Amino acid sequence: MSQPVTVECPTCGAPVEWGPQSPNRPFCSERCKLIDLGAWAAEAHAIPGDDLEDDVFSGSLPPREH
């Protein structure tokens, strides 16, 4: 029988077995999952954007009328 796949929790680095017995994977716990969510909400994490797409939101466009 093969060894279960283990990954590191992105928040604290604890080992997490990848499978149904770890419902918060890749996080080790609900706490670490919420810490990561809070970092995204506080914009501590970000995915780099595309300069062309960012120009669309540059403010050089006239405001939309609702």
Q: Are 47 and 41 in contact (CB under 8 A)?
A: no
Between CA 29 and CA 16 the distance in angstroms is 9
* Residue 9 marked in a binding site: yes
* Residue 28 marked in a binding site: yes
Between CA 5 and CA 47 the distance in angstroms is 27
* Residue 12 marked in a binding site: yes
Binding-site sequence positions for Zn(2+)? 9, 12, 28, 32
